[in-house]
């Protein structure tokens, strides 16, 4: 890439810092330049976020249909999976998987609910709702 | 207190941390491209049985931590690296290091990294930054991605040092153990070691998912994605490929460009003219990775929908594989002349 070809599109990172790139100058020597962002890259990030939104909406629907506990919704909302939730709460992965079942989740004692509430940064009461 | 520390912005975080810390310890010659090349940073791997953010696990560089480790080893600089189970101990040890007037690097997760834009905050745990001071409850941070120093409260720093999930940093703290200078002769030797190891990793690594063979393997997979995964999933997978390739700060097959810059700098230590030509070869493959990203974006934007579009994407990778194979084979010959 030549220095004058560095893309200067709006980018997510561009809001806080320009990105340093290695490029060649007119004599073919390597130098550095700055980019505000690249549209191709921005769009790839958009696709990733569209997927996140879709997963959140699907999770919400599953909770409303009674197919999953609200844990699934909050997990998706925080971009987490069972491994990450287990990591932060100290539960085993198999426990988290069990808690994803509505009937198990409903019977969880307060101290377990509190761990989830703390992780998702909401109150225990909010934890049972998905809107 | 804030240490006398020269913040350096870099294209890639681990390169940047390695460069800044080594400069600080007295290695005046070190630059980002030299750190990347001596650390044999260029790589490719597609791990088919692993998923990252529900997409394919692809990396364009060597494993996290290796660039720092290899570069220090090659320059004969002893390294301190420690993981912690207790956040209190992790903080205490960092504080002691700062009190002694020395900076330390941390591996962190970016999900809770306060100064990062929201769009980048996935559960990615292999970011690197340097702590260069503490004022009250705030730590002063030199993050190679940022233009200037930033701050984080002790709670915020603890949170990212103890991020959970794949590659969990577990409070990891690392730095060069001693301040020392290195000779140009040492740099020359380290360059040769770095090149040889990178040639080995790209050309001769066993299996078919890594190195040049890994690029071919990915090309083949991509051609089959439309049929196997359907349009929606293929779009996400290609977007993920581009995101991994364009990892923060490496815009446009960026690692290839850094490697090209490395070979030019290597030439000043080893005046073997072929290095300049091979550097050009990497500049060209870097450009091709960019072109491939543009092709991929046509698909994930929904503009390109035919099987022939996927075939073309795969063909880009096959062409890149051929060219990078040649570049590394040339390098494998040239390195023999470098004494």
Q: What CATH code is carried by the domain that includes residue B137?
A: 3.90.70.10
Nearest CA to B67 out of B24, B126, B9 is that of B126
What are A79-111's pLDDT values in tens digits?
Answer: 999 999 999 999 999 999 999 999 999 999 999
Range of lowest pLDDT (B38-52, B55-69, B86-100, B245-259): B245-259
H/E element, A67: none
In whole angstroms, what is the distance from residue B209 CA to residue B43 CA?
A: 11
Instruction: Calculate the alpha carbon distances from B189 to A70, B40, B335 in Å.
Output: 58, 13, 11
Does residue B204 have a pLDDT over 70?
yes
Neighbours of B331 (CB within 10 A): 25
Output the 3-class SS for B38-83: HCCCEEEEEEEEEEECCEEEEEEECCCCHHHHHHHHHCCCCEEEEC
Dihedral sign computed on CA atoms, order B247, B253, B258, B263: positive
pTM, to two decimals: 0.94
- Retrieve residue B253's tokens: 């097959």
Q: Which residue of B has its CA nearest to A8?
A: B251
Contact between chains at A47 and B261 (C-beta distance less than 8 A):
no
Q: For A13, which of B117, B122, B301 is closest by C-beta distance?
A: B117
Judged by CB atoms closer than 8 Å, whether chains meet at A22 and B261 is answered as: yes
Is the same domain home to A82 and A100?
Answer: yes
Q: Could you tell me if A26 and A57 lie in one domain?
A: no
Do both A24 and A61 map to the same domain? no
What is the pLDDT at residue B49? Answer: 86
Is A113 in the same domain as A51? yes
Query: What are the tens digits of pLDDT across the range B11-32?
Result: 999 999 999 999 999 999 999 9
pLDDT band at A14 (very low <50, low <70, confident <90, very high): confident
Q: Each residue of B218-267: pLDDT tens digit?
A: 999 999 999 999 999 999 999 999 988 876 655 447 899 999 999 999 99
Q: Does B116 touch chain A (CB under 8 A)?
A: yes
Interface probe with A: pick from B42, B124, B143, B251, most Cβ of A within 10 Å: B251
Chain B environment of A29 (Cβ under 8 Å): 264
pLDDT at B247: 67
Q: For chain B, first and last CA: distance in Å?
A: 45
- Which residues have a Cβ under 8 Å from the Cβ of A117 and sit 6 or more positions away? A123, A124, A126, A127
Name which of B164, B258, B296, B316 to mutate to probe chain A: the one with the most chain A Cβ atoms within 10 A of its Cβ.
B164
Are B68 and B79 a contacting pair, CB within 8 Å? yes
Q: How many domains does chain A have?
A: 2
| CATH value at residue B271 | 1.20.120
Distance from CA of B239 to the nearest CA of A (A): 5
User: DSSP 3-state assignment of B152?
Assistant: strand
Nearest Cβ partner of B123 from A18, A51, A84? A84
Same domain, B101 and B206: no
Residue B163: domain span: 1-9+85-172
Number of residues that make up chain A: 131
Q: Please state, in angstroms and rounded to a whole number, the distance separating the CA atoms of residues B133 and B128.
A: 16
Same domain, A50 and A30: no
Q: Which residues pair with B127 in a beta bridge?
A: B108
Same domain, A25 and A73: no
Q: Are residues A113 and A76 in the same domain?
A: yes
User: Would you say residue B278 lies in a domain?
Assistant: yes
Same domain, B280 and B309: yes
Q: How far is CA B173 from CA B83, B158, B170, B276, in A?
A: 7, 12, 9, 37
- The strand pair at B104-108 and B173-176 is best described as antiparallel
Handedness of CA B208, A44, B129, B10 (dihedral sign): positive
Contacts B146 to A, Cβ<8 Å: 16-17
């Amino acid at each position: 890439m030549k220095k004058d070809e560095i893309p200067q599109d709006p980018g997510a990172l561009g809001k806080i810092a320009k990105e340093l790139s290695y490029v060649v100058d007119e004599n073919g020597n390597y130098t550095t330049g700055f980019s505000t962002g690249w549209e191709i890259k921005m769009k790839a990030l958009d696709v990733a976020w569209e997927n996140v939104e879709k997963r959140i909406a699907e999770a919400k629907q599953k909770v409303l249909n009674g197919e999953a506990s609200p844990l699934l919704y909050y997990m998706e909302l925080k971009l987490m999976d069972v491994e990450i939730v287990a990591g932060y709460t100290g539960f085993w992965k198999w426990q988290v998987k069990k808690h994803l079942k509505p009937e198990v989740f409903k019977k969880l004692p307060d101290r377990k609910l509190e761990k989830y509430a703390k992780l998702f940064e909401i109150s225990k009461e909010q934890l049972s709702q998905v809107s | 207190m804030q240490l006398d520390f020269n913040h350096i912005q870099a294209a890639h975080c681990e390169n940047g941390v390695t460069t800044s810390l080594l400069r600080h310890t007295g290695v005046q010659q070190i630059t980002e491209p030299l750190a990347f090349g001596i650390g044999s940073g260029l790589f490719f791997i597609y791990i088919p049985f692993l998923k990252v953010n529900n997409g394919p696990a692809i990396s364009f560089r060597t494993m996290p931590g290796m660039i720092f480790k290899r570069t220090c080893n090659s320059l004969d600089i002893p390294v301190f690296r420690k993981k912690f189970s207790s956040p209190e101990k992790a903080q205490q040890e960092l504080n002691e290091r700062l009190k002694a007037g020395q900076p330390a690097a941390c591996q962190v997760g970016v999900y809770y990294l306060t100064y990062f834009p929201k769009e980048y905050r996935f559960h990615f745990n292999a970011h690197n930054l340097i702590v260069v001071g503490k004022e009250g409850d705030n730590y002063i941070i030199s993050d190679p991605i940022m233009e200037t120093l930033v701050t984080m409260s002790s709670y915020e720093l603890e949170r990212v040092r103890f991020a959970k999930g794949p590659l969990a940093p577990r409070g990891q703290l690392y730095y060069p153990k001693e301040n020392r200078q290195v000779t140009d002769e040492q740099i020359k030797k380290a360059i040769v070691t770095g090149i040889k190891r990178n040639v080995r990793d790209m050309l001769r690594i066993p299996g078919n998912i890594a190195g040049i063979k890994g690029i071919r393997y990915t090309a083949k997979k991509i051609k089959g994605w439309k049929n196997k995964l359907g349009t929606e999933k293929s779009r996400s997978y290609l977007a993920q490929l581009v995101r991994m390739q364009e990892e923060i700060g490496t815009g446009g097959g960026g690692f290839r460009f850094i490697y090209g810059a490395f070979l030019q700098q290597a030439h000043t230590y080893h005046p073997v003219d072929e290095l300049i030509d091979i550097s050009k070869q990497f500049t060209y493959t870097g450009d091709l990775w960019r072109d491939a990203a543009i092709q991929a974006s046509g698909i994930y934007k929904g503009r390109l929908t035919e099987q022939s579009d996927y075939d073309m994407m795969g063909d880009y990778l096959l062409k890149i594989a051929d060219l990078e194979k040649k570049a590394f084979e040339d390098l494998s010959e040239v390195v023999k002349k470098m004494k």
